[in-house]
Structure 1
Amino acid sequence: MLEQLKADVMNIAKRAQREGLCKHKSGNFSARDPETGYVVITPTSKDRELLVVPDMIVMDMEANVIENQTGLRPTSESLMHLQLYKTRPDVKAVAHTHSMYATVFAVLNKPIPAVVYEIANLNCSQARIPVAKYGRPGTPALAESIIKPAKEADVMLMQGHGCVAVDETNIDEAYLKACYIEELAELYYHALVAGGGKEPYSFPPEELQKWAYPQEIKFPNAK
């Protein structure tokens, strides 16, 4: 069932391990099938390097396990994933990582401002990466904590925990956004250090909403 979607989620989970955004079995990933409404999600407590496609778990939106071929349980943070899909019906994939710099600001409960223009690609309506209030991992409280920031942006920090990114197309794009979170967090960290703790300039929301592909670029040979 949903074999291609399982493979896509598994491959991103392994990539996150290789690239250091998730370590020691931390983090989790999922993608939603628009036809069935089912969610493919990574299992709990499994070394990502040993994952195979049958290890991926299929759930419905009410947290019922529809398929777990190898007997593994879904990530304990499944409720958070499902709540994101309920809160944002446009979302088709979720990437939750514990990357270093992003988690530093999550620990500090400090939003990351728009210090570079590229944050415009993350749909941050308030020109920042917001922070979800603390909720104990695996609980309904954690799931509820992400509702407000998910309505503000496609990316968020989770207080004392890590970060989350969502995307309306696929798991590859959700993971790319998670990578951007870490890059922005690292840039912000170094800017604070270089400036002696002074907040660097950040772009206002209205500036981030003005970007458009340049009309000056033309395609005279296009058919």
Structure 2
Amino acid sequence: MLESLKVKIVEVAIKAENYGLCKEKAGNFSIRDKDTGYILITPSGIGREELKTEHICVLDLDGNVIEAEKGIKPSSEVLMHIEIYKVRANVNAVSHTHSLYATAFSVANKPIIPIVYESVNYGGYVDIAPYERPGTLELAKSVSKLLLDTDACLLERHGLTTVSNDLEDALLKSRYVEEAAEIYYRSLVLNQFKEPKAVDIDEFAEWKYPEEIKF
């Protein structure tokens, strides 16, 4: 069922590890099929080095498992993915990673400000969903509420979640956030922890392709 989407999830999950966004068995990724409304998600307890398409689980928005190999369970963070899809009709992909710098900001409970213009790619500020036990409905609702108006949020003492209409793009947003987090951290260190100036959010709305270029 939905084999091409399973292939995409496996590809993106492996890329995420290769990019250093998550290690071992941490992190999870999902796609919502636009035709059936089903959610395809990475499994619980299987590392990327052994991840195959047959490990990808299929569920509906009520949490009913439609397809899963015997002995395989959906990621324990599946409720977070479900709640995000419930509140964001325009989202069809979710990436949850544990990258070093972004997670450090989540541990410090410090939002990531739009330190570079590339922050426009995920909405600018990356706020933090208050700590809730991983895998719980409380965490799922906390994260989905924060993602109503942005495409990236930190989970306190946990990691980063990004969303998009496409899983490759959701992963790209995770990479943009991690880069911004590293630049932010290094700028704080260089300036003896004096806060750098953020890019004004209005700048994002004002940007347009150079009119001087003629087609």
Query: TM-score by structure 2 length?
Result: 0.97
Q: What runs of 5+ residues in structure 1 fail to find an aligned partner?
A: none
Which aligned segments of 4 or more residues in structure 1 are displaced greater than 3 angstroms? none
Deviates further, 170-179 or 202-211: 202-211
Number of the residue aligned with 2:148: 151
**After the TM superposition, which residues 1-150 of structure 1 pair with which residues of structure 2 at under 5 Å, given as runs?**
1-122=1-122, 124=123, 127-150=124-147
Whether the 8 Å CA contact 2:121–2:176 is kept in 1: the answer is: no
How far apart are residue 70 of structure 1 and its match?
4.7
What amino acid does structure 2 have at the position aligned with 1:211?
W
Number of the residue aligned with 2:170: 174
Q: What runs of 5+ residues in structure 2 fail to find an aligned partner?
A: none
Secondary structure of 1:129's counterpart equals: coil
Deviations 1:88-115 (A, max 9, x none): 1100100000000000000011111111
Secondary structure of 1:22's counterpart equals: coil
Whether the 8 Å CA contact 1:43–1:55 is kept in 2: the answer is: yes
**Which whole-Å CA distance do the structure 1 matches of 2:119 and 2:70 have between them?**
40
RMSD over aligned Cα atoms:
1.0
How far apart are residue 121 of structure 1 and its match?
1.6
Number of the residue aligned with 1:190: 186
Secondary structure of 2:109's counterpart equals: coil
How far apart are residue 215 of structure 1 and its match?
2.3
Q: Identity of aligned pairs, percent?
A: 47
**Which whole-Å CA distance do the structure 2 matches of 1:147 and 1:55 have between them?**
25
Whether the 8 Å CA contact 1:117–1:203 is kept in 2: the answer is: yes
**Which whole-Å CA distance do the structure 2 matches of 1:13 and 1:147 have between them?**
21
**Which whole-Å CA distance do the structure 1 matches of 2:180 and 2:31 have between them?**
24
What amino acid does structure 1 have at the position aligned with 2:52?
V
